[in-house]
Amino acid sequence: METFEKEIKRRRTFAIISHPDAGKTTLTEKLLLYGGAINQAGAVKGKAADRHAVSDWMELEKQRGISITSSVMQFQYNGYCINILDTPGHQDFSEDTYRTLMAADSAVMVIDAAKGIEPQTRKLFKVCAMRGIPIFTFINKLDREARDPFDLIDEVEKEFGIGTYPMNWPIGCGKDFKGVYDREKQCILAFNAKNRGQSKLDSIRCDINDTEAMDKIIGEASREELCEQVELLDGASFDFDIEAVRAGKLSPVFFGSALTNFGVEPFLEYFLEMTTSPLPRKTEEGIVDPFCGEFSAFVFKIQANMNKAHRDRLAFMRICSGKFERGIEYRHVQAGKNLKLSQPQQLMAHEREIVEEAYAGDIIGVFDPGIFSIGDTVCAPKMKIRYEGIPTFAPEHFATVEQLDSMKRKQFVKGMNQIAQEGAIQIFFEPGSGMERVVVGVVGVLQFEVLEYRLKNEYGVDVRRSNLSYEHIRWIENENLNPSTLNITSDTKWVQDFRGKNLLIFTSEWNIRWALEKNPGLELSEFSKN
């Protein structure tokens, strides 16, 4: 039991979130670099010619230079077992990020020092705040020209309504960036950027009161400015309170440059001290403690064809309690069946390793023959629990998608269904048309491009997409209602989802009101109750 508890206590599971291009993927790589998981930042297999981000495995991601899917990476550092969930930064994939945050115990928010808080950062923060998870802020790109650091932390406090506590403080920025001052250790860390951030850096530590040494390292002008700023900071900032941090009310702030490694390792060390081991989780029946002896987990992500060498489909599970053991039967609650989780794996982006055991806090991927759905609970047979479901975002963009080659119908149907089950798209059908003419709904328009790309490259199917003008969707809650009898405008369409549920899609809010007024007793919902 002692080993069991020790293993769970050393787990740290967190998501990294940001607006696109704030440096999230670069920071992820540098954390892996310090953990020894990779030898060279940007190198997937150590080849100088192949330096796409470790966490970006899909070919389209490499072409576009953005993260489209969430990646899972595990590594060891100073006795900790760290599970990083790297999320898409682009707003069109916010639903995938939301699901990933459901599996995390804390979040690291990366902010571009020149741009400050951007729209997608606000949206992601709201998700974190809704769940009450601790947020750690990494203000990145100090090696470039940046905004005033006081303005940046003030913006975080005002925008998000939380306190901040700078753990370190930048010394200059851009070409004058000298390093950071560690407030707790009361010394500066000066760095040599000659290796361009490709490997670990040895920091130069210097006491802030050692005027002579400080002047040699950062210069007299920088020293004087730093001392003034630190004095102001000590008098004006929030007091450090670890309980407020863990309650999501106070965000520790770190300044640095992921690209050149300034401040990354100190950030990692402080973060691991401050964030918690896996926390209890809510189920419909009550709270489940991670240290209880029984295994339980929930599915938060499904992904097919992650690697050309593995033409399969993985269900990603966050282990919430107990210990997972390979070869043992567990209960799939939604299906009401016991099963062995086939090919249990832990991942380093697209690299896989079969695991014999895993603990609360860990993320495992299991082979999915098409039986799992997002939000499903898997647990020890004698446990009677069901984790709370993961809400689905209502799509905001719609298009019809048709296959060009009628001989590829089987591949088209398989591809559409598999991608829909992953939660990347939602598919609807015009009654009576079956899969001949599919209406696809997405949260962001870039998801259409991903759908077309994946159908062509993974299933060999070319499609024709016709964008529709609809923007709103509502589920019909009246079970015995025949939608064909409804009085609706020509700007409203009746469709069905894969469960056979009836829905209406509308071009405007006005049409929704019109439908409700002209059809007394009609009940519409923004979310499916299933």
The structural domains of the chain, with segments of one domain joined by +, span: 9-67+105-274, 281-379, 397-525
Burial 268-292 (b: 16+ CB within 10 A, else e): bebbbebbbbbbebebeeeebebbe
CA distances from 221 to 5, 14, 217, 229, 231 (A): 51, 39, 11, 12, 16
For every residue of 424-451, DSSP letters joined together read S-EEEE-TT-TTSSEEEEESSTHHHHHH
DSSP state of 117: S
C-alpha span between 219 and 211 (Å, rounded): 10
Model pLDDT, residue 333:
95
Model pLDDT, residue 308:
57
181 backbone dihedrals φ, ψ, rounded to 5°: -105, 125
Answer yes or no: is pLDDT of 65 > 70. Answer: no
**Angle CA 304–307–312, to nearest 5:** 40
Answer yes or no: is pLDDT of 363 > 60. Answer: yes
Which range, 14-18, 146-150, 368-372, is most confident?
146-150
Superfamily of domain 9-67+105-274: P-loop containing nucleotide triphosphate hydrolases (3.40.50.300)
Answer yes or no: is pLDDT of 392 > 90. Answer: no
Answer yes or no: is pLDDT of 192 > 70. Answer: no
Superfamily of domain 281-379: P-loop containing nucleotide triphosphate hydrolases (3.40.50.300)
Model pLDDT, residue 194:
59
* pLDDT-based confidence at residue 155 (cuts at 50, 70, 90): very high
**Mean pLDDT of all residues in the chain?**
82
Superfamily of domain 397-525: Peptide chain release factor 3, domain III (3.30.70.3280)
CATH topology identical between 9-67+105-274 and 397-525: no
Q: Which two tokens stand for residue 336?
A: 């009401």
Report the range of poorest mean pLDDT among 176-185, 246-255, 306-315: 306-315
